[in-house]
């Protein structure tokens, strides 16, 4: 196995194991309270991992497509630039979502749109190894009732889009225990941090 393939495997393993664990810790520590927070955390962890791999580049919201084509812009692209400096291959794509409200038709349409984008990019770039659809979920409360953001329900809504083998769903949902209870202290802090008043 060549050096590029070894690094490719290392990046894949990092995303599917270490990154998930680190994002869960970030959410527990109130570092992920919006989609921009999620993007920042994913970028931070990936950047640290890729520091020792000079041919691998982390790109945020880079446009894919020729001049006259409709542009497709994934949230994060991990690309490999060949040593000759002349050819670049997108290898991993990451699409991000953060949700705080219960599943709706609108959120399902959003999932579908992002999945279609990933499918289109996979079809366009035959060098893509894997794509990831990462959803960070926060607890939701209205009129003293808390709606559970079920990981299973979200997974099922995403799976309705008939994912292919190169698309993997990752759901970060740390605020419910097995009895569907949540940490009320987290909820109070989350609400304060999401809406800072002067």
**Within a domain: residue 65?**
yes
Q: What is the pLDDT of residues 8-36, one digit of tens each?
A: 999 999 999 999 999 999 999 999 999 99
Predicted local distance difference test score (pLDDT) of residue 142: 58
CATH number for position 101? 3.40.1350
Predicted local distance difference test score (pLDDT) of residue 146: 47
**Within a domain: residue 196?**
no
Measured over the CA atoms of residue 106, residue 23, residue 53 and residue 130, the dihedral's sign is negative
Lookup result for tokens 């989609």: 35
Retrieve residue 67's tokens. 């001049």
Least confidently predicted of 22-31, 51-60, 132-141, 182-191:
182-191
What is the DSSP secondary-structure string of 45-66? HHHHHHTT-TTEEEEES--BS-
Q: For the chain, what is the domain count?
A: 1
Distance CA 77, CA 60 (A): 6
Consecutive H or E run containing 184: helix 184-194
CA-based nearest residue to 140, from 106, 186, 79, 83: 186
CA-based nearest residue to 89, from 120, 114, 115, 121: 121
pLDDT above 60 for 143: no
**Within a domain: residue 127?**
yes
Query: pTM, whole model, 2 decimals?
Result: 0.88
Q: What is the pLDDT of residues 26-62, one digit of tens each?
A: 999 999 999 999 999 999 999 999 999 999 999 999 8
* pLDDT confidence band for 134 (50 / 70 / 90): very high
Arithmetic mean of pLDDT over the chain:
86
**Within a domain: residue 185?**
yes
Q: Under 8 Å CB-to-CB from 186, ≥6 apart: which residues?
A: 28, 30, 139, 175
> Where in the sequence is the domain holding 109, given as residue range(s)?
3-191
CA-based nearest residue to 63, from 77, 53, 50: 77
β partners of residue 137: 99
């Amino acid at each position: 196995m060549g050096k590029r393939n070894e690094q490719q495997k290392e990046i894949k393993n990092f995303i599917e194991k270490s990154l998930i664990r680190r994002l869960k810790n970030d959410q527990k520590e109130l570092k992920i309270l919006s989609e921009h927070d999620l993007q920042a955390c994913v970028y931070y962890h990936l950047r640290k991992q890729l520091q020792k791999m000079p041919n691998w580049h982390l790109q945020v919201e880079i446009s894919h497509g020729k001049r006259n084509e409709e542009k497709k812009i994934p949230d994060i692209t991990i690309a490999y630039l060949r040593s000759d400096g002349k050819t670049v291959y997108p290898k991993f794509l990451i699409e991000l979502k953060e949700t705080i409200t219960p599943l709706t038709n609108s959120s399902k349409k959003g999932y579908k749109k992002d999945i279609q984008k990933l499918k289109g990019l996979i079809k366009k770039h035959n060098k893509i190894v894997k794509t990831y659809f990462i959803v960070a979920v926060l607890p939701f409360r209205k009129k003293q009732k808390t709606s559970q953001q079920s990981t299973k329900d979200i997974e099922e809504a995403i799976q309705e889009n008939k994912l292919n083998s190169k698309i993997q769903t990752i759901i970060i949902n740390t605020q419910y225990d097995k009895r569907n209870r949540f940490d009320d202290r987290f909820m109070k802090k989350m609400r304060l941090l999401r809406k800072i008043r002067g």
